[in-house]
């Protein structure tokens, strides 16, 4: 990818990006689209596997491609600490460094920074935090510095620096987070220069719809962002509380012609319901993190493979599933054995299954939107046992 181009008035957004809506469901707000990036087109709705430190844990890039992954994530905070954005740039950027030829999205690292709680100091200028999970040094990020890191990493899509308030938080705290995130969004827009890299704004506001709308309005005023992240959900609230504000925000207020990305949410049922609201993009560590803990996704619900009930189980994780674990004939009994013995292969096979489960769920969702039957798709999903566990 080319080096940045200084002095652009459009925040560095170039001709590389676009979003086409190809179908809308007649019963819900779901839509199927195509997101265009320098490293390929992304069909939406889509789930994006998370490769925090430039790797989806235990999974080769070629395996991700075989699973049907179209775009993956990496984490700005962690990569800025190790190995450092300068080294990634020296090695040709993230695509070359991690040997992934498809689109990449990097978050701003804001969620990780603010999870440091008492080790964070906020100001209008930026954020100072202590790297408690690395060497303990203090680091200051201004929006300009955050964009510098993002441009060095070289992902196709990057996110503005924002403040992500947890739940519950006093309204005054959430309001301040919206104020700072809005200010930082404007400075990110002004300082971002790479024409081959899209900068998304992030809508904050907690569980307060009026604050969400204030945040969105400011983003629309300060720059022509080619897409929007929706941050500050799945931070402690239950899912019904989340949808009270998420549903009207997305379906009634967010720009129609731009992609909408619900950040950090990977619960299968939330994906199904989120698509019905009009969300296009999702990401989460849930499928791989739970896999490493020995839990597999299934339409039956959660399969905790540590449980003794799987000792003699001849079934695969999900009959009819096309993932390498199920299509390869690996039984629940064998996976139970691997998980109980802490074998790496167990984590890999279950990770492949869980990722495929969500990717396939979104493929089926997209097809049902194209067919005009997404309302029925949602009802059928909600009748499954999995909808009561995830």
Active-site residue flag, 118: no
Q: Is 78 annotated as a binding residue?
A: no
Catalytic residue among 25, 107, 156, 196: 107
Q: Tokens 């019963």 sit at which residue?
A: 27
Reduce the DSSP state of residue 383 to 3 states and report it. coil
Q: Is 162 annotated as a binding residue?
A: yes
Q: Is 109 annotated as a binding residue?
A: yes
Q: Is 321 annotated as a binding residue?
A: yes
> How many CB atoms within 10 Å of residue 129?
23
Q: Is 232 annotated as a binding residue?
A: yes
Q: How far apart are the first and last CA of the chain?
A: 39
Q: Is 107 annotated as a binding residue?
A: yes
Q: Is 118 annotated as a binding residue?
A: no
H/E segment holding residue 157: strand 157-159
Rounded Cα–Cα distance for residues 355 and 45 (Å):
15
Q: Is 322 annotated as a binding residue?
A: no
Q: Is 323 annotated as a binding residue?
A: yes
Structure tokens at 282: 């999702």
Residues facing 248 on adjacent strands? none
Rounded Cα–Cα distance for residues 2 and 194 (Å):
8
Q: Is 326 annotated as a binding residue?
A: yes
Active-site residue flag, 313: no
Q: Which long-range contacts (CB under 8 A, 24 or more apart) does 283-286 make?
A: 283/47, 283/48, 283/49, 283/50, 283/73, 283/105, 284/47, 284/50, 284/234, 285/50, 285/52, 286/354
The CA–CA distances, whole Å, from 117 to 114, 226, 319, 324 equal 6, 31, 44, 40
Reduce the DSSP state of residue 284 to 3 states and report it. strand
Q: Is 227 annotated as a binding residue?
A: no
Q: Is 346 annotated as a binding residue?
A: no
- DSSP secondary structure letters along 207-249: T-HHHHHHHHHHHHHH---S-EEE-S-SSS--HHHHHHHHHHI
Rounded Cα–Cα distance for residues 346 and 329 (Å):
14
Rounded Cα–Cα distance for residues 241 and 386 (Å):
20
Catalytic residue among 25, 156, 280, 283: 283
| Residues with catalytic function | 107, 283
The annotated binding site for Zn(2+) is made up of 321, 323, 326, 353
Annotated binding residues for substrate, as ranges? 107-111, 162, 204, 232
Q: Which residues are annotated as a binding site?
A: 107-111, 162, 204, 232, 321, 323, 326, 353
């Amino acid at each position: 990818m080319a080096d940045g181009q200084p002095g652009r008035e459009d925040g560095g957004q170039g001709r590389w990006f676009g979003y086409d809506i190809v179908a809308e469901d007649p019963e819900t707000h779901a839509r199927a689209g195509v997101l265009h990036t320098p490293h390929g087109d992304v069909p939406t709705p889509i789930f994006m596997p998370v490769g925090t430190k430039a790797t989806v844990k235990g999974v080769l890039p070629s395996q991700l491609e075989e699973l049907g992954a179209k775009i993956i994530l990496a984490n700005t905070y962690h990569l800025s600490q190790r190995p450092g954005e300068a080294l990634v740039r020296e090695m040709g950027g993230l695509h070359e460094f991690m040997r992934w030829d498809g689109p990449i999205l990097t978050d701003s690292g804001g969620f990780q920074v603010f999870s440091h709680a008492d080790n964070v100091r906020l100001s209008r200028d930026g954020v100072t935090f202590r790297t408690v999970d690395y060497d303990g040094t203090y680091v200051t990020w201004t929006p300009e510095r955050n964009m510098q890191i993002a441009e060095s990493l070289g992902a196709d899509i990057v996110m503005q620096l924002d403040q992500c308030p947890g739940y519950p938080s006093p309204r005054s705290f959430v309001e301040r987070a919206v104020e700072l995130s809005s200010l930082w969004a404007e400075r990110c827009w002004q300082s971002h220069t790479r024409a081959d890299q899209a900068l998304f704004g992030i809508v904050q506001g907690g569980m307060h719809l009026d604050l969400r709308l204030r945040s969105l309005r400011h983003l629309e005023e300060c720059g022509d962002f080619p897409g929007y992240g929706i941050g500050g959900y799945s931070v402690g609230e239950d899912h019904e509380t989340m949808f009270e504000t998420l549903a009207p925000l997305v379906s009634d207020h967010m720009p129609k012609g731009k992609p909408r990305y619900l950040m950090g949410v990977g619960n299968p049922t939330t994906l199904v319901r989120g698509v019905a609201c009009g969300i296009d993009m999702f990401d989460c560590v849930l499928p791989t993190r739970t896999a490493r803990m020995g839990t597999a996704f299934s339409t039956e619900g959660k399969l905790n493979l540590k449980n003794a009930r799987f000792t003699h189980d001849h079934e695969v994780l999900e009959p009819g599933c096309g993932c390498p674990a199920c299509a390869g004939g690996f039984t629940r009994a064998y996976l139970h054995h691997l998980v109980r013995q802490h074998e790496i292969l167990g984590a890999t096979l279950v990770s492949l299954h869980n990722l495929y489960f969500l990717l396939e769920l979104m493929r089926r969702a997209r097809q049902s939107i194209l067919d005009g039957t997404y309302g029925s798709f949602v009802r059928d999903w909600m009748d499954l046992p999995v909808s009561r566990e995830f």
